[in-house]
Structure 1
């Protein structure tokens, strides 16, 4: 029995490493990471070249602070990326999980190995999660770097009025990246489920992106305030609480709990669909 468990663990580890290797050796993955890195770069260059300086409180959140402290470039870029650009890349990787393998005709060969369909779903999900983590940290690092190059950089004045040093500010940037990654986990689960419904990756990707757009639209309708806290996009922009002293953790906890609910629901739906699906390709 221990030998069987050891073999199963080894197969799971090999499958996970293989998934990560495939994910991060694709040109598409690096192209999307490069596109994510361009968001803060383009933002910083646009602000730098602009002849008009925004007064405090004007324009998109945090953009008015970029010229005062370049480290705010990452925070401003994350706010701009959350509604569309990050969900777009997430929809690509999550929609391709199962549908992409089926479309290429490799899904059947993956299932021939003694890994099990549940284990394959878990590995595919963790692979997409690794991409999101890489994407959020890429955005924040690119923002910190371009902000340091183009603007004055020093201790940051938080939204609460407290001042923190550069080292702690970089730690807050890492927390924002982690918060955003957690915010995307529910959407990844939705994408995994939709990906089990089709063999056409583009269709799955489109479905995930539409789900994100619909959720955001519903979250902005005051008439539907009763369901706002149940929408997976509801807490996406609440990472601003990390820029207070002390850090406000209530929104992080609510967000994590909500995303876990979506993971449980759509993970179960994905397994229910995938475990009974006839795999012909």
Structure 2
């Protein structure tokens, strides 16, 4: 019998190794789970749907428990309190002291009905405080994980880049709703303590009952939360461009301030209807009778457009970038 050919034996060994070595790229184990580099684009994963909900719950809990998030929510809750105290101190006989009926429509009505404090607080926080808080959370969503060295481990789970990005965006949207509700509940509680509650007069001059007023306050809160969808998408996109959470947060807040300034320059009136904060204060139309829907629908449509454009840009960037941390 002729001796075995060492070259053929080596070829056979390499062939067997290629079939059984689980560390080789593209190998699929018997249950169909890819063991290739989990950060590579195009790797097929089949995570359990329950695991997805578990990751979403974990993201929500982690975001809310952060000291930075609690501080932001504390500031938002304090704004209605400060407004109510200021109005209470400066009020004599149900009218602002030293005033002649001038000032914002909602603010002049707070002393007559505490429910108007909800609308006043939302109008005061929406131009800057609420979007700033959302920008901080959105900017830290991906960049914070990369900077902390945990992003690669999340992808190993396996989350999948698209799935992880959607979970991050859903977490930011949940924070939008939470932040708006914090302002609303704080204003409602303080308004009920310091001012009377009852039937209220709409901007159109008609009277509505307290129950309907509460319903409109809740609807306004939901519209304000929806108005932050565009900021959340912009912040998420910025977060995919860097591995520094601080840089992403600062850039997002800087863009917010810049856009707000541009929206106030009369010479740029042609551009302003396309800026995401342009129709933010249209929620006041919900306090008209009948309700004016034109500004509201434009606002929600514009937010959906920003979410689609910058959400797609974030997905394109995140699913093609090299994850090294």
TM-score, normalised relative to structure 2:
0.81
Q: Which residue of 2 aligns with 1:123?
A: 167
Question: How far is 1:27 from its partner?
Answer: 2.9
* Change in 2 beyond 3 A, CA 1:187/1:64: same
Q: Distance in 2 between matches of 1:280 and 1:148?
A: 53
Q: Which residue of 1 aligns with 2:112?
A: 68
Is 1:77–2:121 an aligned residue pair?
yes
Q: Distance in 2 between matches of 1:7 and 1:87?
A: 34
Aligned structure 1 segments of 4 or more residues deviating by more than 4 angstroms: 4-8
Q: Which residue of 1 aligns with 2:27?
A: none
Question: Mean Cα displacement is larger for which, 70-79 or 214-223?
Answer: 214-223
RMSD: 1.9
Structure index of larger Rg = 2
Q: Which residue of 1 aligns with 2:75?
A: 35
2:148 to 100, 104, 109: 104
Q: Which residue of 2 aligns with 1:223?
A: 267
Q: Distance in 2 between matches of 1:84 and 1:21?
A: 25
Q: Distance in 2 between matches of 1:76 and 1:6?
A: 48
1:50 to 90, 94, 117: 90
Question: Mean Cα displacement is larger for which, 258-267 or 6-15?
Answer: 6-15
Structure with larger RCO (C-alpha < 8 A, sep 6+): 1
Q: Which residue of 1 aligns with 2:58?
A: 18
Q: Distance in 2 between matches of 1:190 and 1:262?
A: 8
- Alignment size in residue pairs: 279
Render the CA deviation track for 1:215-245: whole Å, top value 9, x for unaligned.
2212112211111111001111111001011
Q: Which residue of 1 aligns with 2:234?
A: 190
Render the CA deviation track for 1:74-105: whole Å, top value 9, x for unaligned.
11111111122112211110111001111111
Render the CA deviation track for 1:199-228: whole Å, top value 9, x for unaligned.
111111111112111222121122111111
Q: Distance in 2 between matches of 1:41 and 1:161?
A: 27
Question: How far is 1:57 from its partner?
Answer: 4.9
Q: Which residue of 2 aligns with 1:59?
A: 103
* Change in 2 beyond 3 A, CA 1:7/1:19: same
Is 1:88–2:128 an aligned residue pair?
no
Please state whether the residue corresponding to 1:253 is helix, strand or coil: helix
Render the CA deviation track for 1:50-79: whole Å, top value 9, x for unaligned.
256434652234111111111111111111
CA contact (8 A) 2:169 2:236 kept: yes
Question: How far is 1:6 from its partner?
Answer: 8.4
2:286 to 242, 248, 257: 242
Structure 1 unaligned blocks of 5 or more? none
Question: How far is 1:249 from its partner?
Answer: 2.1
Q: Which residue of 2 aligns with 1:169?
A: 213
CA contact (8 A) 1:189 1:263 kept: yes
CA contact (8 A) 2:79 2:121 kept: yes
* Change in 2 beyond 3 A, CA 1:62/1:251: same
CA contact (8 A) 1:8 1:115 kept: no
Structure 2 unaligned blocks of 5 or more? 1-43
